[in-house]
Structure 1
């Protein structure tokens, strides 16, 4: 499988001139831990994540004053960078600019290796410098759970065509699934995501079953969990 087979295409984007407070609110409202930052032409210029907002003077989480020895050995560049991260009000100043990316054709094995090597949770997918999707650890786990025990290679063209047909059939319906929640392996369709009724589950499954080439539909659809306080 490749990035295009599992990536989320509805990606929340930020701008460099967005305030840090508004970026934090977007992360909370969309239930995400990071988002790409793009310029006025839509080109990727960075990533803003929870980690970038960890040490902030507004909430008293800035780094405590270093010991005199550590302060002495730290470069002025490091000290200035820390200050900006803790005090600047703009996303462009606090975002991570050295972003690890993939293309739509990048194999999932390479993406998993990038995540492990760089200690990151998500990889933006680019085409001509523009963000077309995002692959997260959850997307890789979902793909793993959708393949049979004998599957070792990449997805077949027939599976890609089946997936495209299912997404086209679902399109326009308020109960349609997000693209990353439809995975096809050897003609078997795996449906993931949250539903609000059994009628929704039935409609989604019927839509998938009616697509030519589908051998079987396995529903992993479930009701959204209710947080406990």
Structure 2
């Protein structure tokens, strides 16, 4: 079952920063464009890092402690933050290397990358490494904003009819706030967990309840084995 890709949700009007952009220019650019972070590109237009508001705030954070002696056992994160506090250009402020994805990356995969790499946004690059868009956590969460009637239609057409080859008249599909309720009768018992799995995989589905979904024929092996 095909998931939408980042190209379907990404912002294409991407704010980028030159590597030599100064501190005030970065602050001004982010403020004027209403974004909290932007990719840093080199002279070839390739993404080399990311600058976010968090990187900029270190200058204010360490402004009042600049003359204080450093702790001997200062953490790696604290050392990096202190270094960024003294930075004046995008190349010094940025976090690198940047985590990027191609346009055909699925939305679930993008969500996993954001989670595992602990980033809030992903520049989308083409085969030449040039920026064609950017995807944010807000864009990923937007997948769950699909209206209930749209989710219901996809369950019926993509799961019940196309994948299971079942008569949709025998299965009742209800959707409330993204929670799908399946009831009725499938032809075989083995299709019930498949129906639940395929439904849960649809974009926008929050959960699946199938307690009242029954079957006409028990086709499961008597010894409990699955094949």
- In structure 2, relative to structure 1, the CA distance for the partners of 1:76 and 1:2 (3 Å cut) is closer
Q: Which has the higher contact order (CA 8 A, sep 6+)?
A: 1
CA contact (8 A) 1:55 1:63 kept: no
Structure 2 partner of 1:33: 36
Superimposed CA distance per residue, residues 59-86 of structure 1 (whole angstroms, 9 cap, x where no aligned partner):
4644847998x8222489974x444311
What secondary structure does 2:18 align onto?
coil
What is the correspondence of 1:65-214 to structure 2 with a 5 Å cutoff?
71-74=71-74, 79=79, 81-127=80-126, 128-146=128-146, 148-150=150-152, 151=154
Which runs of no fewer than 5 residues in structure 1 stay unpaired?
A: 156-229
Q: Report the TM-score when normalising by structure 2.
A: 0.57
Q: Going by fraction, where is strand more abundant, 1 or 2? A: 2
Structure 1 partner of 2:173: none
CA contact (8 A) 2:101 2:123 kept: yes
Instruction: Tell me if 1:47 matches 2:50.
Output: yes
Structure-2 separation of matches of 1:3 and 1:62: 39
Deviation of the 1:20 alpha carbon = 1.1
Question: Which structure has the larger Rg over C-alpha atoms?
Answer: 2
Structure 2 partner of 1:163: none
- In structure 2, relative to structure 1, the CA distance for the partners of 1:114 and 1:77 (3 Å cut) is closer
CA contact (8 A) 1:122 1:134 kept: yes
Structure-2 separation of matches of 1:115 and 1:34: 15
Structure-1 separation of matches of 2:58 and 2:74: 18
CA contact (8 A) 1:4 1:105 kept: yes
Structure 2 partner of 1:7: 10
**How many equivalent residue pairs?**
149
- In structure 2, relative to structure 1, the CA distance for the partners of 1:132 and 1:83 (3 Å cut) is same
Which runs of no fewer than 5 residues in structure 2 stay unpaired?
A: 159-227
